[in-house]
Amino acid sequence: MTNRFSDASTPPGDFVDRVAAARRPVLLTHIYPDGDAIGSQLALARALASQGAEPRILIAHPAPLLQEFMDPEGVVVVASEEHAVEALATSDLCLILDTSDYARLGRLERAARESNVLKYCIDHHLCVDPTAFDALWSDPSCPATGLLVLSLLDTLGIRITAEIAEPLFIAVATDTGWFRFSNATALVFESASRLVSAGADPAYLHRALFENSSLGRTQMLGEMLSSLSSQAGGRLVYSVVRQTQLGRFGIPLEEIDGFIDHLKEVRGAEILILFVEVSSGRYKVSLRSKGRRDVHAMASQFGGGGHAKAAGFRIEGSHDDVVSRVVSAALEVLQ
């Protein structure tokens, strides 16, 4: 079976040849890497290593929970800009996964932009600037970058071992909300079935991801939920996580991932917003749509991006100012 979500779900021919020929590829992904980001990197790196290449995986922010159990060998490196410059200088291919926006590479952005190495991108977000890469393989209809990686590995004729199946399963499971979201199509289940047959253990992986929260994180989640606000008769639900709270519960920003999914539990809510104060006066805003509203368009207004049902952006300002600007924009969308 091949993974075809659209015509764009199979890699272009030159793309495949170039990836197969790379000896020292460097794999990059977006800031605050999630399971699809790191899962796609690890699966592709393991597959290319099995063919004799020496891939290197760099990330801009640590993802301790994911790294600890997905990467026991410590292959994934949280890199400084200098480290990325050095790695790219000795590389024959830079592969950018799960984002097609250089700005989303965070502190590795400049190193990637300014490197002379060939830059290939594999992604499933709407791409704002397709000319920014030497080759772009983008399929916004594909539920997870991990499925594009699976399709690439199939095209390359690389056998899916348990070591490759596990990170791919995490990639797909993450971006489909553990197979609950509307992007969990029959093809997703077919691919997941293949990955389980190849050795991925869903129960073990679910435990590792969702029964592994620090006490502080779960307490912070409780506080976030108890302080949520609603507007437009409950069709808009939002909450804010402040720096002071993160400090009080002793949890790093990386651990907030997944909080917004709990806002979706509220009946009648159509648009969900989570504001996370990443540093004084700077906010990371996550948007989700439970209904027919397109939150990607809303994120774009603020210079962000994502998908129709899950999007985000960064914004600066005082707490009250940021919340009121974003809430007004959401109310407009709900009109």
Quick note: the x/- pattern for ligand AMP over 103-142, rule CB under 6 A, is: -x--------------------x-----------------
Could you tell me the CA-to-CA distances from 22 to 19, 127, 165 in Å, in that order? 5, 24, 22
Q: How many residues bind ligand AMP (CB under 6 A)?
A: 13
37 binds, among ligand AMP, Mn ion, none (CB under 5 to 8 A by kind): Mn ion
- Closest to 43 (Cα-Cα) out of 151, 120, 179: 151
The listed partner (Mn ion, ligand AMP, none) that binds 125, CB under 5 to 8 Å by sort, is ligand AMP
Binding flag, residue 123, Mn ion (CB under 5 A): no
The nearest distance, CB 125 to ligand AMP, in angstroms, is 6
Q: Does 39 bind ligand AMP (CB under 6 A)?
A: no
Please report whether residue 257 would count as binding Mn ion according to CB under 5 A: no
CB 129 to ligand AMP: min, Å? 12
Look at residue 24 and give the partner it binds from ligand AMP, Mn ion, none, a contact being a CB closer than 5 to 8 Å depending on partner kind.
none
Greatest extent of the chain over all pairs of C-alpha atoms, in Å: 59
Q: Does residue 35 belong to the site contacting ligand AMP (CB under 6 A)?
A: no
Residue 22: CB atoms within 10 Å: 22
Q: Does 290 bind ligand AMP (CB under 6 A)?
A: no
Identify the CA nearest to 225 among candidates 262, 255, 256, 273.
262
Q: CB of 274 within 8 A of CB of 286?
A: yes
144-183 footprint of Mn ion as x/- string (CB under 5 A): -x-----------------------------x--------
d(CA 166, CA 73): 15
**Alpha helix positions (H), 3-122:** 13-21, 35-50, 64-70, 81-89, 109-114
Can you tell me the distance from the alpha carbon of 55 to that of 45, in angstroms, rounded to the nearest whole number? 6
Eight-class DSSP state of 294: -
Q: Please state whether beta strands 282-289 and 310-316 pair in parallel, antiparallel, or not at all (unpaired).
A: antiparallel
- With CB under 5 to 8 Å by kind, the binding choice for 313 among ligand AMP, Mn ion, none is ligand AMP
Q: Which residues bind Mn ion (CB under 5 A)?
A: 34, 36-37, 98, 145, 175
Q: Which residues bind ligand AMP (CB under 6 A)?
A: 101, 104, 125, 286, 304-307, 310-314
